[in-house]
Structure 1
Amino acid sequence: MGHLQPQFEDEKTFETATDFFHLQHLIRCLNLRVDTQSAACFVLETSDEIELNIPLQQPVEFLVKNTQGQIQHALLQVITEDLVIQQDEAQQALSQLAQQDQVAQKLQQQFEQMHLDHADLQQVQRLTQHNCIARFKAKDHLQLIILNTGRNMPIDQQDPIDEIVVKLFKAQPLTEYLPVCLAQPIQEIRIPRASAKTYSVKAGQWIQIIDVAGKQCSDFLAFDAQALAQGQEIGLDAVATRTILGHSTPMPGIHSRFYGSNLQTLVEVIQDTVGRHDMFLTACSPKFYEDSGYFGHISCTDNFNQILSKHGIQRKSAWPAINFFYNTQVKPCGTISMDEPWSRPGDYVLMRAQKDLLCASSACPDDIDPSNGWVPTDIHVRIYDESQCFPRSQPYRLAPEELPRMTKMSGFHSRISALTSKLVEYHGYWVASEYNNWGAKAEYLACRERVAMIDLTPLRKFEVTGPDAESFLQYMLTRNVRKLAIGEIAYSAACLDTGGMIDDGTIFRLGENNFRWVCGDEYSGTWLKQKAQELDYRVSIRQSSDQIHNVAVQGPNSRKLLAQIIWTPEHQPTVENLAWFHFSIGRLGGPTGIPIMVSRTGYTGELGFEVWCHPSHAEQVWDAIWQAGQVFEIAPMGFDALDMLRIEAGLIFAQHEFNAQTNPFEAGIGFTVPLKSKEEDFLGKQAIQNQSAASRHKLVGLILEKTEAAVHGDLVYNGRFPVGVITSATNSPTLGKQIALCRLAPQHATPGSIIEIGKLDGQQKRLKATVVALPFYDPERTRVRS
């Protein structure tokens, strides 16, 4: 193929010698969605088709507008046969607005942005078909506004609004996708492929760098504008950034802040929809191409030198840069490798300028390797005014092709953030690692000695209902679901057909054919839906995570505390009488208070409860518990303290004690697999039975001889060769020793056995440890049962 030549700010985009490789960049289908209790607007051109995957028993309302903003439903042709559509007022949306709470305010803001008024809501189209895939075709250019709305779900109901998966099929394939603006931009800058541009940004303004076609790298430079005006060149400095942030060994990802050579912050990263970038190589340079045999090939360094010279910035042989969307890896041996970027069309990084800056961005010209998917494309930059406010978030995806899901704040966030600045991302939510003026050890001791509470909203919740709900869960979970009484809970594993664990969680029985699955991984719901459809079970599976947030109240005084503030009706057990692994439906403060569910469950090994409520009530629930807890010296608890507690209690954690290659016995929860008493088949049963019990690695405890700590992933040795691996480790305040959970070969898993934990290369340094039975703390579990 022809190779790219220099492109600067005044030149047109250079075309490659062949358009064949551009075929891989054509976008024929956009995978989109409409989030719960929200609205979304989709622009369709003539002959575009759109497909909605609508959850079971969930009404959906929509509006069709022409290019003049007038409602014209006839522009949208129905393709799906026997689709039932009625024209009426937007009952679902109006009922949500009538709540006058946070979700109502958010919906009202969306309507204002879409220019929807009350008159529009009187003439919507409503789909009343149950569990259908509805497909439509645009007769002309139009806007389709989908209202995935409805009232909040009460804690004792199971009718949440679930997300709608949307597929938009383009009649004329797109070459790029620009996401909706985060706000009104004050600058829009297009950087043609194989070129670079400079732009000025004021302190406090926001810089959004967008990969419009996917798999395209963009090098970024920033200089202190005030220093430049005084003849001093202070630019981004990778060494300073790594040193200050403690990232001495670079890994894929992104730093939260980038520093100049004077050790002052230049930009701060606020949002990132990719999560994989390069901060340890230079921008591509003439030497890179010459060493590869491509003499005269344009480079980002050449482009930067050209555009920066007019600002008096000296040329460089290779420009150090932040290489956004560049997918490089550092291998254990220290070599750096590279592959195609993870970025998809519309992915972006959002930064905030901490000083007045001169910035430069490139659209990398590299077409000789996978770094740009072999075909360089454009980069788009948007600048937003400093008065805007955007939340910190990072991405995760349940499927590679879907839009990124960004970090959320739980209903308790305002209370948590008022007590600590130490927030970390966990499973799509911001949570506290520890609290200011407490610290992990004090929080741990409060839970062991008094009472503590922790936000566990990141747990995912799914409502499983329908005539086949029991038999479906009996097959999908290892536990014997049929034995559960209404109001009872069981802890269970969910396995693949290989026996490996996809997740663990608790199953709540709310009725004869009504269950709530609470687990760690959001993909569990996708997995359950896929299996239900594949196996033809008559069951509805809807996510209720956005409708149910929860705080755990744990410790010896947890029962006394909650008994003071939770009222339960006569047909429900009181907090004082609530049995272990049972739940009760009640209200906060009295019979007219906030609806809540309280369960006698936890993740600490202590007597404890979890309180479940709608997020709009979360602040009131937190305040009531916090106020009532003052007499018991309650403490807030972060995830660092929780990790200490759960390791002492021998409780397992995903991607540590188990993963898809680990069955429940190897993960230390063989008690969840009743191979003898559960006669029916369940997923993974045959694979687990085929494994010899004597050959299984076992999850055991280790007590280290000295104070030096083990960490997750350390290999465990008997002599020269490894016989196990550390899955989790911590310092135990109760035992006053370093402890660890370890998956160990059965020949060495007998309590009292002496093994060694390998550090450095595993051979040069060893930490002696003794094998012990689990749990380390309260081996009879008398406290949690008390």
Structure 2
Amino acid sequence: MTVAAGRPRLLLPGLVPRETGLETYWVRPGGVTAVRLSAGDRLTVIDRAGRQSAELSVFGSAGHGGAALGVRVDAPANAIRSLAAGGTGEGRAAILTALASYGLDPGEAKAIRLFGDSSPQGARETFVAQEATGVLVAAPARPMNVLDEVANPPSDLLVEVLRASPRGDERPELPEPLAEPVADLRIDAATALAYQVKAGQYIQVIDVAGRQCSDFLAFHAHRLDEGVERGLDSTTTRYFMGRAYPRPGLFGKFYDQDAQPLVEIVRDTVGRHDTFGLACNPKYYEDLGYPGHVNCTENFNEQLKGYGVAARKGWPALNLFYNTAFDEENLLVFDESWSRPGDYVLMRAMTDLVCASSACPDDIDPSNAWVPTDIHVRVYDAKRKFSMAIARRVTPESEMKLTKQTAFHPRTSELTRQFTEYRGYWLPTSFHNHGIQDEYWACRERAAVMDLSPLRKFEVLGPDAEALLQACVTRNIRKLSHGQVVYSAMCNETGGMIDDCTVFRLGDTNFRFVGGDPYDGVWLREQAARLGLDRVWVKDSTDQLHNIAVQGPASRDILREIIWMPPTQPGFTDLTWFRFGIGRIGGHDGIPLVVSRTGYTGELGYELWVHPRDAGVLWDAVWEAGRPHGMLPLGLDALDVLRIESGLVFAGYDFSDQTDPYEAGIGFTVPLKTKEDDFVGREALVSRKAHPQRTLVGLELAGNEPAGHGDCVHVGRSQVGVITSATRSPILRKNIALCRIAVQHAGYGTEVEVGKLDGHRKRIPAQVVRFPFYDPEKLRPRS
């Protein structure tokens, strides 16, 4: 992008490269990425998190000796050879095809080794191509063992290619097909295309260049044969799904007027669309002074007339990649799309369909960023299976990651189909034949087991590990003993909470940071760089440690039967609150695990952490041991009731980066008097504590109507607070809520009103009370 000298450039992560001719590629742990280079191209491999080895293989006209990059390649390319031997690494077929194109045997592949166990975060190696060549970059990976003295979970690599001759305005490359397509359709900018899809087949609509609207229509093919037109219907869909637009998961179907499902959303890498707004039409352009402008409606009419579909003046469509919203004045507004090059929506046909897709021609407003581009459609066979997924990015520059199943999913999916997407994973909301009430009472009276694997785990390692954590979290990490866990806040410079977390001390230089947000690791690495701490590594171990929690009065009795602790560790029954040990299941030769006396329910309980390969064994052992005690599985819905009763805060509800720990009700995590060392946000927190504006309180509501997150709280006409979390407490038989309120109204016994509707037409009387509501002295988890 060319800009005037001295004029700042728009920040468009994922759309405009930082430098002309710069391309970026990701190499995931255990994966291999292929890149083709021309003479003069500069290739840089970056070890983003540190301590991750890399293998670089070169394949050119001179063979695979490395001359094309001016290096000597003489070590075995173990990652590539593993793929050739039948491994399951990502992109296996594409890598083997690339090797075959050079006539090379992958079983004989060689590489140059880069980085290693001591490479710092951000380490990089740069090479310049002497001639046209192919390069394979691999990130070898081995599972992390919970017994490893120094844990080093595998991490990804970043590959940057700076082209000597930028490719210019060539068409962006399409992403690799998800499988072998049965149809591969290009829809040129400002056109539309009709096509047929059989029941069970998958439809992938791809935004080729990014920020391009694509309207989608679907009609029941058999009804069209009968002369009856039945297509996507907004009212029916929204009524049954309860959403403005369905998304992957339980509520992901689109219906016709006869309440018959036509398509199901399987994957969505964008997450922001408009649903059933009109496809652009002649009147829209005419009213803006552009008569005769090409439009999606007329393009659809032309494409569909051969199927007996009557022409319309405007087609209500599923507007993929189109960014609209209603503002606070209920005005319909729109802006540039959120989609990036290669983003897609994957749907499954629920019956035989006649479909139509467009590449919207709108070039007079932001809907296509003023430059209409192409859309691509691929159709896949019904025999293929694709995981349900939503895409997330930790930062705008990060690679896209699709929703995953946890290692416990094979067990929990036998007990329920009620799953929701939670921070990049599918977790059960409730379990069949039980439900919220049964699961709740099991935890309060007996025991419950839940999957909490989406918690983000980061290994913080090295001589500077303690110094980094001391500078980044509010608690005094220097006082943390081996085998101890501490609950803390992590704040930014203004005192706003980035996250709450627990920190485990595994050794003098080994810590495990457990939070809820994948951004936590990015922040920790940024602070290490800012502070000049070059002897610390922050490695994401989330995919190497999955965990369940066993909570409830019977949890100790259940687990004492199956957990063996070596003599070097405290006995299982000797573990006190916020302590952990490393043991095994069953005996000295059982699977290894970390067991911590922590939880999120306000009950006596434990969390058990294992490598994903051992998850099934752990679940089975706990499940069998828990049966005689009446243990039940616990879903997210019941967990929410438990944690609100116990006054435990939740990110995005009870705190955010606009909320300090005092306002979030966890001021006890900020020991300003006893922690002498400086930490991020300390100065702001000193000021905020001295001049508080808001605080978190408990409310008890009159009557049987509950409050909801975001409800306003009033004294008279003035709003003085907002509900952050609320529930009906089964054990207290009351409606309760957590409320962030002005300190002037935070005293126990203060009478307030919770506003419903517009906040004035309906009010629920409430009173400020002590919280935690349940077991305020926390005697039960300490027991």
TM-score by length of 2: 0.92
Distance change (3 Å), C-alpha of 1:487 and 1:406: same
Which of 601, 605, 610 is the equivalent residue of 2:607?
610
1:89 corresponds to which letter in structure 2? P
Any idea what the Cα deviations from partners look like across 1:339-390, whole Å, max 9, x if unmatched? 0000000000011111111111100000000000110000011111111111
> Is contact 1:250–1:330 with CA below 8 Å preserved after alignment?
no
State how far apart, in whole Å, the 2-side matches of 1:72 and 1:305 are: 58
- SS of residue matched to 2:196: strand
Q: Does 1:236 align with 2:232?
A: yes
C-alpha displacement at 1:162, in angstroms? 1.1
Q: Does 1:386 align with 2:382?
A: yes
SS at 2:493 equivalent: coil
AA aligned to 1:243 is Y
Compared with structure 1, are the counterparts of its residues 539 and 62 closer, same or farther at alpha carbon in structure 2 (3 Å cutoff)? same
Q: 1:88 aligns with which of 52, 75, 80?
A: 75
Structure-2 change in CA distance of 1:193 and 1:91 (3 Å): closer
Deviation of 1:123 (Å): 1.7
What is the CA distance between 1:42 and its match in structure 2? Answer: 3.3
The amino acid of 1:56's aligned partner reads G
Q: CA deviation at 1:186?
A: 1.4
Structure 1 equivalent of residue 174 of structure 2: 178
Q: Does 1:461 align with 2:439?
A: no
Cα offsets for 1:674-698 (capped at 9, x unmatched): 0000111111000011225353311
Deviates more, 1:395-404 or 1:475-484: 395-404
**What are the residue-to-residue correspondences of 1:496-575 with 2, within 5 Å?**
496-537=492-533, 538-575=535-572
Is the Cα contact below 8 Å between 1:251 and 1:329 reproduced in 2?
A: no
Q: Residue in 2 aligned with 1:657?
A: 654
Query: 2 CA distance for matches of 1:608 and 1:96?
Result: 43
- Amino acid in structure 1 at the alignment position of 2:167: Q
TM superposition outliers: structure 1 runs of 4+ over 6 Å: 24-27, 92-98, 250-255
What residue identity is the alignment partner of 1:172? R
> Would you say the 8 A contact 1:274–1:342 is kept in 2?
yes
Matched, 1:52 2:49: no
SS of the aligned residue for 1:419 comes to coil
Q: Are positions 1:303 and 2:296 aligned together?
A: no
| Amino acid aligned to 1:582 | R
Give the deviation of 1:311 after TM superposition: 2.0
**Inter-partner Cα distance in structure 2 for 1:618 and 1:200:** 43
Instruction: Return the match for 2:579 from 564, 578, 582.
Output: 582
Matched AA of 2:567: E
Aligned residue for 1:773?
Answer: 770
Give the whole-Å Cα distance in 2 for the aligned partners of 1:371 and 1:296: 19
Mapped to 2, the partners of 1:430 and 1:253 lie a distance apart of 11
In structure 2, the partner of 1:65 is 59
Moved more, 518-527 or 170-179: 170-179
- TM-fit CA distance, 1:403: 2.8
Match of 1:128 in 2: 115
Q: Indicate how the Cα distance of structure 1 residues 274 and 583 shifts in structure 2: closer, same or farther if over 3 A, else same.
A: same
- Match in the other structure for 2:215: 219
- In the alignment, which residue of structure 2 is the partner of 1:705? 702
Residues 684-693 or 172-181, more deviating? 172-181
Percent identity over paired residues: 49
In structure 2, the partner of 1:41 is 34
Q: Partner of 2:720 in structure 1? A: 723
Amino acid at match of 1:761: D
Q: Counterparts of 2:419 and 2:741 in 1: how far apart (Å)?
A: 34
Taking only aligned residues, the RMSD between alpha carbons, in angstroms, comes to 2.3
Task: Name the aligned partner's letter for residue 780 of structure 2.
Answer: R
1:110 is the counterpart of 2:106:
no
Confirm or deny: 8 A CA contact 1:566 1:590 kept in the other structure.
yes
**Which letter does structure 2 place at the counterpart of 1:296?**
G
Paired position in structure 2 for 1:155: 146
Aligned partners of 1:284 and 1:300 also within 8 Å: yes
Q: CA deviation at 1:519?
A: 0.4
How much has 1:128 moved relative to structure 2?
3.2
- State the distance in 2 between where 1:685 and 1:612 align: 32
CA distance in 1, matches of 2:476, 2:767: 35
Output the TM-score relative to the length of structure 1. 0.92
| Equivalent-residue separation in structure 2 for 1:308 and 1:96 (angstroms) | 46
Aligned residue pairs: how many? Answer: 750
SS of the residue aligned with 1:52? strand
Distance change >3 Å, CA 182–CA 713, structure 1 → 2: same
Q: Give yes or no for contact 1:25–1:175 (8 Å, CA) kept in 2.
A: no
1:355 aligns with 2:355: no
Q: CA deviation at 1:252?
A: 10
Name the amino acid aligned to 1:151: R
Using a 3 Å threshold, how does the CA distance of structure 1 residues 95 and 296 change in structure 2: closer, same or farther? closer
Counterpart residue number, 1:8 = none
CA 1:141–1:261: 2 relative to 1, 3 Å: farther
Task: Report matched runs for 1:5-24 at 5 Å.
Answer: none
Residue 444 of structure 1: how far off its partner (Å) = 0.8
Contact persistence 2:32–2:91 (CA under 8 A): no
Provide closer, same or farther for how the CA distance between residues 627 and 390 of structure 1 changes in structure 2, counting only shifts above 3 A.
same
Amino acid at match of 1:504: D
* Aligned partner of residue 114 in structure 1, secondary structure: helix
Q: Which residue of 2 aligns with 1:625?
A: 622
Closer/same/farther in 2, CA of residues 108 and 496 from structure 1, 3 Å limit:
closer
Q: Could you tell me which amino acid in structure 1 is paired with residue 59 of structure 2?
A: K
The equivalent of 2:12 in structure 1 is none
* Correspondence list, 1:474-513, <5 A: 474-513=470-509
Q: Is the 8 A contact 1:252 1:327 kept in 2?
A: no
Q: Which runs of 5+ in 2 are unaligned?
A: 1-14
Tell me: CA distance 1:288–1:119, structure 2 relative to 1, closer, same or farther (3 Å): closer
1:406 aligns with 2:402: yes
Is residue 145 of structure 1 aligned with residue 153 of structure 2?
A: no
Deviations 1:453-504 (A, max 9, x none): 1100000011111111111111111000000111111001111010001011
Tell me the distance in 2 between the aligned counterparts of 1:296 and 1:111.
Answer: 48
Code of the residue aligned with 1:580 in structure 2: it is W
Any conservation in 1 of the 2:248–2:390 contact (CA below 8 Å)? Answer: no
Match of 1:430 among 407, 426, 429: 426
Structure 1: state its 5+ residue gaps. 1-23, 79-84, 99-103
Map of 1:9 onto structure 2: none
Equivalent position amino acid for 1:152 in 2: P
Contact 1:214 1:344 in 2 (8 A): yes
